Structure 1
Amino acid sequence: MTINCQGQLIDLSSPKIMGILNLTPDSFYDGGKYKDEASILQQVEKMLGDGASFIDVGAYSSRPGASYIDEETELQRILPVTELLIKKFPEIILSIDTFRSGIARKCIEAGASIVNDISAGNLDTAMMQAVAELQVPYIMMHMKGTPENMQDLAQYDDVVKDLLFYFSEKIAHARELGINDLIIDPGFGFGKTLEHNYEILSKLELFHILELPLLVGVSRKSMIYKLLEIGPEEALNGTSSLHTVALLKKAAILRVHDVKEAVECVRLVDALGL
């Protein structure tokens, strides 16, 4: 199972780590932490050195209740950093975390390799067509509504069945447009209750019926720290525990804040030979 990233074939039969670089001032864990060139370059160099295969750059906070920002503000945050990282790390594989086709186009043209869309085209109907024209891998996440209202919409008949139906329709549409490399993200924490999140994780293997790589993003999320009655800054141990579960259920990509610890999870699970 491979994806083509700007001519570089990445084999996802062995799990890969995607390091998170948030350029937003209000993200739930590391908001405002990386706001100048030095801190950005230092963090990306560390993540790459620790074993990240991909770096996911986002400039629009998608935490529950996050504030709306316009496209120009998002572009001003993300495009210069995309250009900076491509210049400083020519071999880097950048994923662009955006639901806007205009942002995706400009960042891919600047050298990024993957589009990571929290809305799977629902918040910008031009997104899938843009990805098809750009011919880059497309991460499709499940989310109800928008970051502003998604937690008010956390109702399902059967959360896993509902997500599988959602993705089957999205995959069919993407294939019709000619998108070759698709990755599925169940969207932990996006329009789901605590119970929904754990039901999805417990049944994660059912998503393999879609025959596509699975990305899991649970790093330091509220499904961990609320259950354990701690804060996100204390949620690394819980994150590693859930990463292990996801890997045992054959997740292909872990999207994480803490690359070194995630790589260790991959190595330990791999040693089991399951």
Structure 2
Amino acid sequence: MPIPAHSTAPFAPNAFPADRFMLNCRGRSLDCRPGREDGPGVQVMGILNVTPDSFSDGGEFLAVEDAVSRAAEMLSEGASIIDVGGESTRPGAEPVPPEDEMDRVLPVVEALTDEFPDALLSIDTYKPEVARAALDAGAHILNDVTGLRHDPAMAEVAAAADAPLILMHSKGAPGDLTAPREYADVTAEVRDALAQSIEAAEAAGVDSIVIDPGFGFGKSHAENRRLINEIDELLTLDRPLLMGVSRKSTIGATLGSPDNPAPVEDRLFGSLGATAVGVIRGASIVRTHDVAATTEMLTVLNSTLHA
């Protein structure tokens, strides 16, 4: 479906095919059509890192009770999805063995399933064995930061469980995903790579697919900003788009400079500004550390766009 380049007007939800933008989350529906008028107008995904070394909140939620408390807070603030991750993708982070990753995430997924049976849970992993175990423990969505490049069997796991699959654009191997890469036309190349990931997922039988341009993964600050401004061009893939810019280095460099970026704790307002542009361009899922502030900003943005 053609999307007007650089649209600044709200999209019409009925312009998007329901079979692709209404996700089937293991029997539960999630409306990811751009232009929804209710609430913030997009789905907000709260980040729950159960890692010792994530760039923003590493080590804060390793204990199950701390993770459950944080999830409760984000759900009360407006998150519709909690994204649980057991391996950091920050620059320099080492890959984690599947057994260690499962030791981190499975107790949290099980506890969240018991405590919040109505919450949608996503598992941030590229390992099929971790994904399968998390789905068995109660997760609903798979989030693969390699876009099936690391292990195409992730698609088979998603298809077997009737779970949505988030396909993020990145290059390189786990542990090296944030290394600088060369692009002649970043938006076109990201779009083409995501199209290949979609094709592989569809061939494996995955019905509900979400695309993620991979902001901050091997792109320069200028390329990240361009991708945000050209999200509508990626919507020609006819799939819901997730954006995750929360507190990332491009926000810090833009607020400060590449050599002297704003510290992570001072990147909230910059993250909200970039998010607003992305949603206006058509993003329908926003992944964030700061659920309350993001939800409030999106609610006002949405009500203004539809005034």
TM-score (norm 2): 0.86
Are 1:104 and 2:122 matched, yes or no? Answer: no
Compared with structure 1, are the counterparts of its residues 98 and 88 closer, same or farther at alpha carbon in structure 2 (3 Å cutoff)?
same
Alignment partners' CA distance in 1, 2:111 and 2:303: 37
Q: Which residue of 1 aligns with 2:269?
A: 237
> Of 42, 51, 54, which residue of structure 2 is paired with 1:24?
51
> Of 61, 66, 69, which residue of structure 2 is paired with 1:34?
61
Q: Report sequence identity in percent.
A: 38
1:111 to partner: Cα distance: 1.0
Q: Which runs of 5+ in 2 are unaligned?
A: 1-20, 37-41, 257-261
Report SS of the residue matched to 1:150: coil
Alignment partners' CA distance in 2, 1:151 and 1:141: 13
Q: Which residue of 1 aligns with 2:162?
A: 135
Q: Which residue of 1 aligns with 2:295?
A: 263
Q: Which residue of 2 aligns with 1:3?
A: 23
1:37 to partner: Cα distance: 2.7
Q: Contact 1:144/1:153 (CA < 8 Å) preserved in 2?
A: no
> Of 179, 200, 217, which residue of structure 2 is paired with 1:173?
200
Alignment partners' CA distance in 1, 2:50 and 2:157: 23
Alignment partners' CA distance in 2, 1:134 and 1:272: 39
Report SS of the residue matched to 1:180: coil
Q: Contact 1:205/1:250 (CA < 8 Å) preserved in 2?
A: yes
> Of 66, 76, 79, which residue of structure 2 is paired with 1:52?
79
Q: Contact 2:56/2:264 (CA < 8 Å) preserved in 1?
A: yes
Q: Contact 2:91/2:179 (CA < 8 Å) preserved in 1?
A: no
1:147 to partner: Cα distance: 4.4
Q: Contact 2:44/2:295 (CA < 8 Å) preserved in 1?
A: yes
Alignment partners' CA distance in 2, 1:24 and 1:45: 18
Alignment partners' CA distance in 1, 2:252 and 2:189: 26
Q: Which residue of 1 aligns with 2:225?
A: 198
Q: Which residue of 1 aligns with 2:211?
A: 184
* Partner deviation per Cα, 1:144-187 (whole Å, 9 max, x = no partner): 11343234341112111111111111112211221100000000
Report SS of the residue matched to 2:179: helix
Alignment partners' CA distance in 1, 2:26 and 2:198: 22
Are 1:43 and 2:70 matched, yes or no? Answer: yes
1:266 to partner: Cα distance: 1.7
Q: Which runs of 5+ in 1 are unaligned?
A: none
TM-score (norm 1): 0.97
> Of 102, 125, 128, which residue of structure 2 is paired with 1:75?
102
Alignment partners' CA distance in 2, 1:238 and 1:260: 15
- Aligned partner letter, 2:29: L
- Aligned partner letter, 2:46: G
Alignment partners' CA distance in 2, 1:30 and 1:51: 20
Alignment partners' CA distance in 2, 1:190 and 1:204: 16
Alignment partners' CA distance in 1, 2:301 and 2:178: 33
Task: Give the paired residue count.
Answer: 274
- Aligned partner letter, 1:167: L
Report SS of the residue matched to 2:159: helix
1:192 to partner: Cα distance: 0.9
Q: Considering Cα pairs closer than 8 Å and 6+ residues apart, tell me whether 1 or 2 has the greater RCO.
A: 2
- Aligned partner letter, 1:137: P
Q: Once superposed, which parts of structure 1, at least 4 consecutive aligned residues long, lie more than 6 Å away?
A: none
